[in-house]
Amino acid sequence: MAQYSIVGGWIDQAERCSCPNFGERPNPQDISLLVIHNISLPPGEYGGGWIDRFFANKLDPAAHPYFSDIANLQVSSHLLIERTGVIKQFVNLEQRAWHAGRSEFNGREECNDFSIGIELEGTDDTPYTDAQYQTLIAVTQAILTCYPAIDKSRILGHSDIAPGRKTDPGPSFDWSRYKIAL
């Protein structure tokens, strides 16, 4: 399994991708939550670079009917792990990515302020790949080393911090496999 290190908020082996959707954290020392998401564009389809374009605000609304509803949204995630296990980084971990939206954890709102977001290319109902789990486990280990306020109890799904609004990473995500491997 690959090992990753974090230098200056960047994962050493991640492909860096352009993304304007981020800001400063209110307290840069308060990185204390890891949020697991899923995304596929169009829904249920993989590859094609649509996620990269979406996070870069360059999604063509005419390229697919679904895109017309989301092309003007400004969202991001720190990391994306593709089906192949390739990891892409859109936002420096020290910055505030726009991945959680309206959210709450332990009585604190605005989880973007203190969390790192990882998107897995997938859907709630499609099993994630072995390559994705391998990359997710390795990158999570690097995050746990670099940000000691995050422990296993502070690794949650988007559905946990935005219940009723979000369902990802969904029932297809194997939490036991992931957390035992950490």
Q: CATH code at 133?
A: 3.40.80.10
For residue 10, name the pLDDT band (cuts at 50, 70, 90): very high
- Per-residue pLDDT at 138 exceeds 80: yes
3-state SS class at 104: strand
| Number of structural domains in the chain | 1
Domain membership of residue 119 (yes or no) is yes
Residues 43-89 have pLDDT tens digits of: 999 999 999 999 999 999 999 999 999 999 999 999 999 999 999 99
Beta bridge partners of 117: 35
Residues 6+ apart with CB under 8 A from 77: 37, 39, 55, 90, 91, 97, 99, 117, 118, 119
Residue 65 included in any domain: no
C-alpha dihedral over 42, 43, 46, 49, to 10 degrees?
Answer: 30
Q: What is the pLDDT of residues 105-116, one digit of tens each?
A: 999 999 999 999
**99 falls within a domain:** yes
State yes or no: pLDDT of 98 exceeds 90. yes
Residue 100 in any domain: the answer is yes
Q: Among all residues, which ones are annotated catalytic?
A: 119
* CA dihedral sign, ordered 14, 16, 22, 24: positive
Please state the rounded mean pLDDT for residues 26-32.
95
Q: Indicate the pLDDT class of residue 7, thresholds 50, 70 and 90.
A: very high
- The predicted pLDDT at position 1 comes to 74
Mean pLDDT score, 19-42:
97
Asked if 77 contacts 90 with a C-beta cutoff of 8 angstroms, the reply is yes
128 within some domain: yes
**Mean pLDDT of the 90-110 span:** 97
Listed residue (159, 162, 166, 163) closest to 175, CA to CA: 159
Q: Find the domain containing 89 and state its range.
A: 31-48+76-181
Q: Is pTM beyond 0.95 here?
A: yes
